[in-house]
Amino acid sequence: MTALDLSSPVAVVGTGTMGQGIAQVALVAGHPVRLYDAAPGLARKAADAIGSRLDRLVEKERLAADERDAARARLTPVDDLSGLAGCSLVVEAVVERLDVKQELFRALEDVVADDCLLATNTSSLSVTAIGGALRVPGRFVGLHFFNPAPLLPLVEVVSGFATDFGAATRAYETARAWGKTPVACADTPGFIVNRVARPFYAEAFAVYEAQGADPATVDAVLRESGGFRMGAFELTDLIGQDVNESVTQSVWQAFFQDVRFRPSLAQRRLVESGRLGRKTGHGWYDHREGAERPEPHTAEPAEPPAYVVAEGDLGPAAELLDLIREAGIEVREAEEDEGTRLALPSGGQLVLADGQLSAEFADVVYFDLALDYRRATRIALSHAGHTSAETVAQATGLFQALGKKVSVIGDVPGMIVARTVARIIDLAVETVAQGVATEEDVDTAMRLGVNYPLGPFEWSRRLGRGWAGALLDEMHEVDPCGRYAPSLALYRYACATDQREDTP
């Protein structure tokens, strides 16, 4: 099954930002495109807006003038659904309401031929449920573009329960022919990206709700230590708090209120107050003109320890030992090579976040996971109220000697980056185990759809198969609400090796 021929007309129903973007993608790829909107006059206005964007592409020398002229000639606004007769693909981008979408596609079936592909751009509704209202549901598929559609490469090609393999394949190949990077997935709440990405927001909000750190500090740690493009608070301000919470609510309800997808009360209060982010001028941050951006908590300078004692290889943080030596600090080896921690001259210990609390130990400071400890510019530390001031100062001075800013946060299990990455890995592994998508497609989706520095499986291979499960096990013991209980899929994944020679 191949992509649609470029001579095949493509229709887009719904001419908002996303509908215009999808239409532009198909148009620039070479298809005749027809635009329809139920509101009188909007299709024509959308065609004019698309034409203006094509003009800007010519000005930026991203499109030749003759290609723009040809594209404009292929773009046709229509005033009635009957004008979509003869199209080979119709993509819907209307309001996110199941009844509205079902009614639209039932009406379309009376207009287009039975071999016309019908596609929804829904991000939160069930493709199966929308297609279930159709006379020929096998030709119905999800084509989830990301905003802005002309710029972002990812398209999730979603097969509903009744979608024919041939229809899904044709949609996949067509998206690829349009210059996009398609990933195939089965119909599941949130598809790939909006399912696997939930912990990125949820764990940041949970740290905030537990008084572990303020939004600016959480965001800084996610960026400067975790390697994420944006922090959770600033990203949801950009998306819109109402939009982000709506997706979270949708996924939570679709998974029968699974505690792992539980929405944030703090975000609910933000939405209720009308502080929706950039579009209203205020969200987690104040975006009004002249408003000052709050600074993340950064520790005052402290003296580094004269030496540290390495008790084990520090696991995912092993490269720290080289950095410490390069900073001129002596690294002594413990007589017994056990554990993954550093002993400090104060008698306290510096331990990589493992899901436990500093409060459980006599004199322990935890440090957070980093994507790359050499390149990280900030490290988070956490400690209990009874941790000695000397141990906290030496831990702070140590990382400052490595050229890092230090943010000291509250005693929260898993800290910030570690708990976020562990939960993302867990949901990704479960997604693959349930047959929703392949490991490769999940990694591609998370890198391209939400700009993660690594895909979940890439991250897991770097950290070790058992790392996420071990951290979540400890978090579940500390907080046995079910939110942090590792999935059975993650347990099986951690036990698996490329070749298992041992037998029971």
Point out the residues that are catalytic.
123, 144, 156, 194
Nearest to 302 by CA among 389, 394, 402, 403: 394
Cα gap 272→252, rounded to integer Å: 19
By the 8 A CB rule, do 182 and 175 touch?
A: yes
Residue 143 bridge partners (DSSP): 157
Smallest CA-to-CA distance from 471 within 499, 449, 494 is with 494
DSSP symbols for 109-160: HTTS-TTSEEEE--SSS-HHHHHTT-SSGGGEEEEEE-SSTTT--EEEEEE-
Cα(422)–Cα(468) distance, integer angstroms: 4
Instruction: List, as own/partner pairs, every contact residues 320-328 make where C-beta atoms lie below 8 angstroms and the sequence separation is at least 24, other chains included.
Output: 320/373, 320/402, 323/373, 323/374, 323/402, 324/398, 324/401, 324/402, 327/401, 327/402, 328/401
Question: Rounded CA gap, 375 and 356, in Å?
Answer: 26
d(CA 420, CA 309): 29
Closest CA relative to residue 92, chosen from 15, 185, 155, 183:
15
Hey, what are 286's tokens? 């104040």
Strand partners, 382: 366, 409
Distance between CA atoms of 339 and 310, rounded to whole angstroms?
Answer: 9
List the one residue out of 415, 408, 404 whose CA is nearest residue 391.
408
Residue 225, burial from CB neighbour count under 10 angstroms (0-12, 13-18, 19+): buried
33: left (phi over 0), alpha (psi -120 to 50) or beta: beta
Rounded-to-integer distance, Cα 199 and Cα 221, Å = 15
CA 334, CA 337: separation in Å to the nearest integer? 6
DSSP string, 442-462: HHHHHHHHS--SS-HHHHHHH
